[in-house]
Structure 1
Amino acid sequence: MSARLQVLQLNPKDNVAIAFAALDAGVRLKDFPSIVTLDPVPAAHKVALRDIGKGEPVLRYGQIIGFATQDILAGQHVHVQNLAIGEFSRDYAFGADRHEVVPAEDVRTFMGIRRADGRVATRNYIGVVSTVNCSATVTKQVVQHFSAPGALDAWPNVDGVVPITHSFGCCIDHHGAGLEQLRRTLQGYVHHPNFAAVVIIGLGCEANQIAPLLKGQSVRTGAELVPLVMQELGGTRLTVEAGVKAVLDMLPRANAVQREPLPIEHLTLALQCGGSDGYSGITANPALGVAVDLLVAHGGTAILSETPEIYGAEHLLTRRAVSREVGEKIVERIHWWERYAEREHGSIDNNPTPGNKAGGLTTILEKSLGAVAKSGSTPLTDVLMYAEPVKTKGLVFMDAPGYDPMGATGQIASGANLVLFTTGRGSCFGAKPAPSLKIATNTPMYQRLHEDMDINAGEIMDGEISVAAMGREIFEAVIALASGKPSHSEALGLGGEEFVPWMVGAQM
């Protein structure tokens, strides 16, 4: 790209282009000299490259992002005032674009932590997990004991003590999908390799009882998994004391670890984008897609998620599915969300958010096409339900809402030991126990929020680096992050409040 360009047409089929910087009305476009802007066009927003009739599809990336709600003249600003979502058919062509992954010739490793049972960690935390909101305060008070300056100095190999609290766990069908999903999510955290040990704290009378929560867990209660029940221990104060003692007993063993070179195949990335803008699908997301392709070539795994944010772009994934069965799972999830939105008298197009729209995104179709770019070009090997454990290598998809903390929670429960998070508006996010790397889509935001951002993919728009080169930079940053280099979100202490499980079913 060249910073000298005023607008960027992403595909020859496109009837809109993206503004590199804000354009005033009356500006003649150098690369489209027959077009003069008729309105002011903010940076990252769209300008019409030709007349578009009412009802005609508007194309970006060579794909439909919506339909004109009125006649649009060449040079006009194209946004919410004249563009909206509409019905159209997608060619799912299951597996048509699938290609074989060519294994990387070089053998890359990272400095990871191998647990006794063979699981591999990128961080070394102790977790304190509440079964229900009623035990959340006690859980946090246990963790607060270890948050004071110097509290963990005697255990330098322990990255911290993390609270995992939530607002659910009771007044829900004891045998329903909601409780099953909550338990699956908590089980994924209890068994997560980034936790050397876990204390679980329950009230005692909740629907989400500890015994069924731990059923089937390979880690048995004992030195690395200690359950505490407030009603049995004598209440708040005594449970806090018991929790603190349990963590103190765990610390020496948790500290007795050493990082060692391990194959990249042990890395599983959670792919997230939040606070997206019109540059997301041009810079950070496709660059992250390059990094994903490199990771998969080395045997690693990436989890794409947030089903409402692939809506209208799901056909790009079905075409990469390793089988029709895998592709059909994506389509089934899309139909479920259509029914869900209708039942709740909502619209999937309620996403993009106001911030997304201010940043240039107009419809969920446009947002989804940019979001899917995070997944690169690698084949889709599986489709998971929320927080379902990953069973295959390569690219997998996990069903989840479009709310970033909720999606990331499910991905970490599924086994992600790193989070790669792209943002255009500026998201301040962490997700312990998995470290989060944040990638800015544009330079002005990166400079404004430099304390929160790890990588500036805005250099692509500035003409300083190619998408491929930025992707390789992200890949190297992933290896460094997995090897223990702190991310900016870790340095700021983020990640202790972002456990947000997706609750389904009626509260009663």
Structure 2
Amino acid sequence: MNTYLQIHPKDNVLVALQDLPAGQEIQFNGDALQLKQTIPAKHKFPITDLQPGDAVVMYGVLVGKASAPIQKGEAITVKNLQHDADSFHEKDASFQWQQPDVSRWQNRTFAGFHRGDGQVGTRNYWLVVPMVFCENRNVGVIKTAFEKGLGFAPTEVYNEQVNELVNLYKSGDLDAIRNYEPEAATQTDKRNVVFPNIDGIKFLIHEGGCGGTRQDSDALCALLAGYIHHPNVAGATVLSLGCQHAQVSILQDALKKLNPNFNKPVLVYEQQTSGSEFKMLSNAIRDTFLAMTEANKLERKPAPLSKVVIGLECGGSDGFSGISANPAIGHTSDLLVALGGTTILSEFPELCGVEQELINRCVDERTADKFISIMRTYADKAESVGSGFYMNPSPGNIKDGLITDAIKSAGAAKKGGNSPVTDVLDYTEYATKPGLNLLCTPGNDVESTSAEVGSGANIVLFTTGLGTPTGNPIAPVVKLATNTRLAQRMPDIIDIDTGSIISGQKTIAEMGEDILEFVVKVASGEIRTKAELLHQDDFIPWKRGVSL
């Protein structure tokens, strides 16, 4: 196994693939340098002496400038490196893409749920949606009733643990409580026997709909419309108070915009005109049950892989993200695009410094100009509230080697592979063009994942170096560890270990192919992801301009 890596021939830094002790001699390009201090795995050290203002290059792009003298072989840290990135401008170069060989998958299919509008779902859910946070409690009542009544409720292992602790307390055995260590529960796929063709009933609890700006409530309606229109959704039950900003009529207009012939069942209940709460909820439960009897008639049938729409996401990133899991799913993206499928790359604050590459990959100037406009508007809004993209890396990112936003971004962009950018989507716009789509979202894991699914992703590939317990209510989220240590430490949330790229056991292309095989099984319902088994149903709408 190599102990260090130069990611790109232009780079003037190396990445430690394992802890490198102080004093170790590094041989690189015929020269020798001695490490001035211990370099932890995932961190970087320069191959030449750097003076304040000198550029630091990784992935072949500018990722920062030295803020203090850095000797070759010295660790790069927040104390000697500051964020900097290349500027960007209009599309100025043509782009040629060498498609990967996809003959192995050319005639492959997955078993999906075919919708009347031509979309194909990887799951079949009924959705319950509140138009405003005032209805969250009522949604909770429906959630408890249906999940328990239909057998979709999460495991009650923790309730059992509390009961055991109560019994120990009543017996007066406090020492037994202190030493109490229950066995870990086995994650099981609880299948419903009443509606075997329905994967569950899901609930989009949120804190919006009123009290904010009209822009926020309109965006919320557009996002909810994307979820109802989504191929993984058979229909929806909508609860409205009546007086909120996010009116049902706005939601209905958003649905018609997505599909003028929209005909999924959408059951609407407005509390302020329904009489008693009991009457409204009883009617909603009865009508929802009847609608689910119809949704249950749909069965999985073969569909081409071109009907798969993958969201490309990362969270809890580390110094290995950009050299293992991210480029691996980037290759998966290239494979799917070559098969006629669609992929979505989001998190615009984490594309800082690689904008020009993406601009030049756009299929035309209109697409490139839209990306430029959205990026500049987003950056300006962030700066107007006293922030900026440079503030994106979290303490965990920095601790594990992502010192600047540009370092993080250069690695994060690898999730998009090498294919052309066929479309650029603003927040809540729906993906309609096959190929790689760029979607404007924050870098926040849940906000971004929520948006990718709202734009049509029926599976999300989520890379993590630190361990992020994130899922989505209606789309399977596949969690990929960037390093084997994480996969072994948190096996209950990790689906795929890409650490074999770091160890040299597999190439990026080989891992990308393995991931596509896994995706086909997930899409067909043969595999339930760890996030699904743990009922990680995270959903957070984005309030524009507030989040990075």
**Number of the residue aligned with 2:484:** 443
CA distance in 2, matches of 1:186, 1:220: 18
Query: For residues 54 and 235 of structure 1, do their structure 2 counterparts lie closer, same or farther at Cα, with a shift above 3 Å needed?
Result: farther
User: Which amino acid is the alignment partner of residue 109 of structure 1?
Assistant: T
**Number of the residue aligned with 1:332:** 373
Q: TM-score, normalised by structure 2?
A: 0.87
CA contact 1:85–1:364 (8 Å) conserved in 2? yes
Q: TM-score, normalised by structure 1?
A: 0.94
Query: For residues 220 and 379 of structure 1, do their structure 2 counterparts lie closer, same or farther at Cα, with a shift above 3 Å needed?
Result: closer
Further displaced range: 5-14 or 395-404: 5-14
- How much does 1:171 deviate? 2.7
| DSSP-derived class of the 1:377 partner | coil
| DSSP-derived class of the 1:281 partner | helix
- How much does 1:306 deviate? 1.1
CA distance in 2, matches of 1:103, 1:177: 44
User: Which amino acid is the alignment partner of residue 269 of structure 1?
Assistant: I
Greater fraction of residues in helix: 2
**Quick one: percent identity of the two aligned structures?**
35
- The C-alpha deviation readout for 1:109-164, integer Å capped at 9, x for no partner, is 11111123432111011100000000111112201112227534211111111001
Further displaced range: 30-39 or 225-234: 30-39
Correspondent of 1:50 among 48, 52, 55: 48
User: Which amino acid is the alignment partner of residue 23 of structure 1?
Assistant: L
**Number of the residue aligned with 1:7:** 4
Confirm whether residue 288 of structure 1 aligns to residue 286 of structure 2. Answer: no
- How much does 1:319 deviate? 1.5
CA distance in 1, matches of 2:210, 2:378: 25
CA distance in 1, matches of 2:432, 2:212: 29
Query: For residues 503 and 77 of structure 1, do their structure 2 counterparts lie closer, same or farther at Cα, with a shift above 3 Å needed?
Result: same
**Number of the residue aligned with 1:138:** 138
Q: What are the within-5 Å matches in structure 2 for residues 119-198 of structure 1?
A: 119-148=119-148, 151=151, 152-173=192-213, 176-198=214-236
| DSSP-derived class of the 2:343 partner | strand
CA contact 1:107–1:298 (8 Å) conserved in 2? no
- How much does 1:90 deviate? 4.1
CA contact 1:219–1:225 (8 Å) conserved in 2? no
Confirm whether residue 29 of structure 1 aligns to residue 26 of structure 2. Answer: yes
Aligned length: 499
Query: For residues 102 and 37 of structure 1, do their structure 2 counterparts lie closer, same or farther at Cα, with a shift above 3 Å needed?
Result: closer
User: Which amino acid is the alignment partner of residue 342 of structure 1?
Assistant: E
**Number of the residue aligned with 1:488:** 530
Confirm whether residue 270 of structure 1 aligns to residue 267 of structure 2. Answer: no
Confirm whether residue 320 of structure 1 aligns to residue 317 of structure 2. Answer: no
User: Which amino acid is the alignment partner of residue 120 of structure 1?
Assistant: V
- The C-alpha deviation readout for 1:60-89, integer Å capped at 9, x for no partner, is 112111000011001100121111113643
CA distance in 1, matches of 2:387, 2:204: 31
Confirm whether residue 205 of structure 1 aligns to residue 246 of structure 2. Answer: no
User: Which amino acid is the alignment partner of residue 536 of structure 2?
Assistant: L
CA distance in 1, matches of 2:216, 2:206: 14
CA contact 2:218–2:246 (8 Å) conserved in 1? no
CA contact 1:103–1:298 (8 Å) conserved in 2? no
CA distance in 1, matches of 2:521, 2:92: 36
CA distance in 2, matches of 1:200, 1:170: 16
User: Which amino acid is the alignment partner of residue 162 of structure 1?
Assistant: K
| DSSP-derived class of the 2:408 partner | helix
| DSSP-derived class of the 2:462 partner | strand
**Number of the residue aligned with 1:67:** 65
CA distance in 1, matches of 2:344, 2:126: 24
The answer for unaligned runs of 5 or more in structure 1 is none
CA distance in 2, matches of 1:77, 1:160: 50
User: Which amino acid is the alignment partner of residue 210 of structure 2?
Assistant: C
**Number of the residue aligned with 2:79:** 81
Q: What are the within-5 Å matches in structure 2 for residues 98-113 of structure 1?
A: 98-99=96-97, 104-105=102-103, 106-113=106-113
CA contact 2:85–2:352 (8 Å) conserved in 1? no
Further displaced range: 49-58 or 212-221: 212-221
CA distance in 2, matches of 1:312, 1:340: 18
| DSSP-derived class of the 2:142 partner | helix
Query: For residues 30 and 252 of structure 1, do their structure 2 counterparts lie closer, same or farther at Cα, with a shift above 3 Å needed?
Result: same
CA RMSD of aligned residues (A): 2.0
CA contact 2:430–2:455 (8 Å) conserved in 1? yes
Confirm whether residue 499 of structure 1 aligns to residue 539 of structure 2. Answer: yes
Further displaced range: 333-342 or 121-130: 333-342
- How much does 1:30 deviate? 4.6
| DSSP-derived class of the 1:451 partner | coil
User: Which amino acid is the alignment partner of residue 40 of structure 1?
Assistant: T
User: Which amino acid is the alignment partner of residue 64 of structure 1?
Assistant: L
CA distance in 2, matches of 1:100, 1:51: 37
Q: What are the within-5 Å matches in structure 2 for residues 377-396 of structure 1?
A: 377-396=418-437
CA distance in 2, matches of 1:97, 1:220: 37
CA contact 2:326–2:463 (8 Å) conserved in 1? yes
- How much does 1:243 deviate? 2.4
| DSSP-derived class of the 2:519 partner | helix
CA distance in 2, matches of 1:452, 1:189: 24
Query: For residues 292 and 505 of structure 1, do their structure 2 counterparts lie closer, same or farther at Cα, with a shift above 3 Å needed?
Result: closer
Query: For residues 35 and 478 of structure 1, do their structure 2 counterparts lie closer, same or farther at Cα, with a shift above 3 Å needed?
Result: same
**Number of the residue aligned with 2:158:** none
User: Which amino acid is the alignment partner of residue 135 of structure 1?
Assistant: E
Q: What are the within-5 Å matches in structure 2 for residues 452-471 of structure 1?
A: 452-471=493-512
CA distance in 2, matches of 1:316, 1:280: 19
CA contact 1:98–1:322 (8 Å) conserved in 2? no
CA distance in 2, matches of 1:255, 1:236: 28
| DSSP-derived class of the 1:437 partner | strand
Query: For residues 12 and 100 of structure 1, do their structure 2 counterparts lie closer, same or farther at Cα, with a shift above 3 Å needed?
Result: closer
User: Which amino acid is the alignment partner of residue 523 of structure 2?
Assistant: A
Query: For residues 314 and 235 of structure 1, do their structure 2 counterparts lie closer, same or farther at Cα, with a shift above 3 Å needed?
Result: farther
Further displaced range: 267-276 or 408-417: 408-417
- How much does 1:241 deviate? 2.1
- How much does 1:98 deviate? 3.8
CA distance in 1, matches of 2:342, 2:330: 12
CA contact 1:98–1:319 (8 Å) conserved in 2? no
- The C-alpha deviation readout for 1:5-49, integer Å capped at 9, x for no partner, is 221111222111111111222222255762111122111011121
